[in-house]
Structure 1
Amino acid sequence: MIFMKNPKNYIFVLIAILSSAGAFVFSKDQRIFPHKVHIDGSIECVYCHKKINESTSTTGGKEIPYRKICDDCHGGKEGFSATIRLRYHQVYQNNHQFHIKEQGLACKDCHEALYTKEAPSQEESIVKMEYCFQCHDNNTATQYCMLCHVNPTVPDDHLKGWNKLHGKKANAGQKECQKCHTSRESCLRCHRSSKNVARYHNPNYQATHRYESRISLKNCRACHSDRQCRDCHKASGVNFKSPLIQKRHPLGWTNRSSSHFHGRKAKLNLASCTTCHTQNECRYCHFWMKKGLRL
């Protein structure tokens, strides 16, 4: 039987125990279990988490120690009585047997904060995603989220009307979002719908997006990649390598007598030209072509 020295020096209000699986989160009124105190007392992880080395799944709270294990030290004169019900909130599962036995990882490799801080925050107590990504990079190991996040719960801050406000919160602190939403694909599941385009672009965005991108390219890249720009421009004929290039201009756009003559159109709506063309492109035709046409 293991007893801790001077137990009166510590306040063990055991409302919630964090499994070494990192599979649980706490409500705001719960105190985080002081792992470091026990580690410093030379108590091995496996003393409390008896079957952790054999565990292939953390679902169902199987990694939470039985209360009688706590009573070994805290059931009599040597400590307080562990009578408070243990609670947990399932977040994700993990195959400890695979990581410990086959990959040779130690508890501290993933749960470092429990070894170094007296009272780590909730976020620090749970395994950080950057630890996972050291191996789960889609090269060494898969990045398939649902492999571990089998039944992800909705965070407390995702309240009613959250879908209308999350954009501002994301701009204020994307790192908070990226704890769960690890790729742009998470955003695009909702945002790529054609019915939502009007919510993010003005009605004339095809003519104005060039200027908007110059003002804040970051806003564009929140959804669009450079490749998407090229693919869309090529498909719609606004790329010089596109076979559709001539179709973007009406018949007669180079004919001065035509109602579709580009000079006349430019005077009526210059933005329709400058969406694709720069002033240098105008000069190229008007000053350097053989006929030396004037502006």
Structure 2
Amino acid sequence: MLLNRPIPFSFLLGQIRYEALGVFVFANLMFALRHYVGLEYLSIPLAIPALMGTCISLLLAFRTNQAYERWWEARVIWGGIVNDSRTLIRQLLTFLPLDTTSRSAVQTMARRQIGWCYLLGQTLRGQPVEKLIQTYLPEEEQATMLSAAHRPLAVLQAHADQLREWYRAGQLTDIQLAQVDATLSRLTDAMGRCERIKNTVFPKTYTFYLQVFIILFTAMLPFGFVESLFFVEVPLVTLIASAFFLIEKSAIQLQDPFENRPTDTPMTAIAEGIAGSLSQLTGAFVVEQPTELSKYYKL
């Protein structure tokens, strides 16, 4: 997630470097044809590209709004994961007997839940998770988790298996079991909603058509400048077109919040916050995964 700090120009330019270079070369070519080859008639009224630019601006506003809604939905889901993770451990601390065995089991549950948060984030980003499993999950569960096709789901099932053991041992009543299971169900639902965002592709035709319109607008723009802008024609065309391309690129990045990019939902940072909260609740020290440090974003 980009922070409220100065963003390096290199990051912004890196998003559109090929488009900006292409526009710069094209604008110089048109400038040479019009002013040095004698093809001054290659001109159109400036109102035509201005009208097209207005239409594209409206489309870009709608496009960016839809992309931000996807990003914000992902952030809301992870906010719910924070709340439900805390609720899960707090419920267990409240319902279970205050003996050493139960407290140790809750600490194991807390470590497993922290591992699930990191595991879900890394799975959504397509990153390796073997080290996380070895760090946070009990040794007797690791082989099962490593062989599971859907590892975050397997971790939640391990939670459910533990609840069943407590219930059969008479440590949880029917009502208490139902309340804790409802919390697990919300975590499962949150995981599914993240996977829906991850696996639902933003309509490619919409992106393609918008890119075509921006290219057409950029191609028309050099022909609309008048002689009074003789020496600033190329820089202006490059800057105006780059602004449109940059907004469109920003929307593309926001629409996919689980791609291990600076614009991602900060799942690792959120998991670190959950680790701190659950450590406080259980009184146990848990290993936190170091977040990649950056001056302008966090993952």
TM-score, normalization by structure 2: 0.20
TM-score (norm 1): 0.21
Structure with a larger share of its residues in helix: 2
Bigger RCO of structures 1 and 2 (CA < 8 A, at least 6 apart): 2
Instruction: From the CA coordinates, give the structure whose radius of gyration is larger.
Output: 1
